[in-house]
Chains A and B, each alone.
Chain A
């Protein structure tokens, strides 16, 4: 590698560079897009190994699609999220009754907090993941994309191939369901009344 590409380049531009044989774009695209794809897959699947497989496959499809990419027509990240979500659905369809891998839930990285605070933070992450896994597949996807990835509803609609109204409905119902699931664990998670 001769040098790093301009970090200000858009995903579009980097993908075109990659398609034209510029190997320097590979690392930048990988570091920009893979963590987001992996994070969403982790939250949707609740399993690290599966999330890794989905991320690798989605990125492979991105590399293969690169020569045919038409810049300006869509966001690369939207395309990638869409592929990842569809791969997740396909995987779950094949499995029919996936499980929640609690070991896969990430530990908090901040070491400046006390051990008890970190444990409570970890418990909250676990609780959120367990609650997410109890939602129907599409609700879970919509909630993760909206409330963890903070994507706008129109983009989520594009990723999930549904209307914006359907996204709003899914996220609202999903959020209500999550609140109900977590209501019984308030004290355990350190939320006191009052």
Chain B
């Protein structure tokens, strides 16, 4: 019984040895495909490195397009000057304009009957 087992194991070892001596050859088309994959993987590896640069270019591109649409640096300077004048007029208005500080809390609803009910009353009085 023991001898049978030993013999069976020896025969199995022979089969393994035979399998080792006759390895499965790698098909040529598979080797070619694997080497092509290597080139593809390497090119994929390069793409993410370029991605942030591309994104930056798009970012700058949008600002540049906006500048061109506005009219360039001179137009941007004019817009900035207009903003400053607007703020200045708001804070220190000329004498012929009301002082905005005095208008805070001012309501003219009693003098002008713009509310629908008051306006209807006035119009009704005029008709009469």
Residue positions of A touching B, CB distance < 8 A: 18, 21, 23, 26-27, 29-31, 34-35, 38-39, 42-43, 51-52, 55-56, 59-60, 63-64, 66-67, 106, 108-110, 121, 124-125, 127-128, 147-148, 150, 175, 178-180, 182-183, 186, 189, 191
Contacts and interface: CB of A to CB of B under 8 A. Distances in A.
Contacts of A18: 38, 42
B118 interface: no
A34 B20 contact: no
Interface in B18-74: 18-20, 22-27, 30-31, 33-35, 37-42, 44-45
Contacts of B114: none
B42 A21 contact: yes
B41 A179 contact: no
Interface stretch (B4-12, B83-91, B93-101, B102-110): B4-12
B18 A55 contact: no
26 contacts: A23-B38, A26-B39, A30-B38, A31-B26, A34-B34, A35-B25, A38-B24, A38-B30, A39-B24, A42-B24, A43-B24, A55-B26, A55-B30, A55-B34, A59-B34, A60-B41, A63-B41, A63-B42, A64-B41, A106-B24, A110-B22, A124-B18, A125-B22, A128-B16, A128-B19, A189-B11
Contact of B15 (A21, A67, A182): A182
A148 B33 contact: no
Contact of B23 (A27, A39, A51): A39
B56 to A, nearest CB: 23
B30 A34 contact: yes
Contacts of A127: 15
B interface majority secondary structure: helix
A60 B40 CA distance: 9
A124 B22 CA distance: 12
B100 to A, nearest CB: 64
Size bracket, chain B contacts: 20 to 34
Contact of A125 (B19, B26, B42): B19
Contact of B12 (A38, A51, A67, A175): A175
Nearest to B26: A35
B5 to A, nearest CB: 7
A63 B9 CA distance: 40
B9 A175 contact: yes
Contacts of B40: 63
Contact of A56 (B5, B9, B30): B30
A23 B25 CA distance: 24
A106 B25 contact: yes
Given A31-B26, A51-B24, 19 more contacts: A23-B38, A26-B39, A27-B35, A31-B31, A34-B31, A38-B24, A52-B27, A55-B30, A59-B38, A64-B44, A106-B23, A124-B18, A125-B22, A128-B16, A179-B9, A180-B8, A182-B8, A182-B12, A186-B11
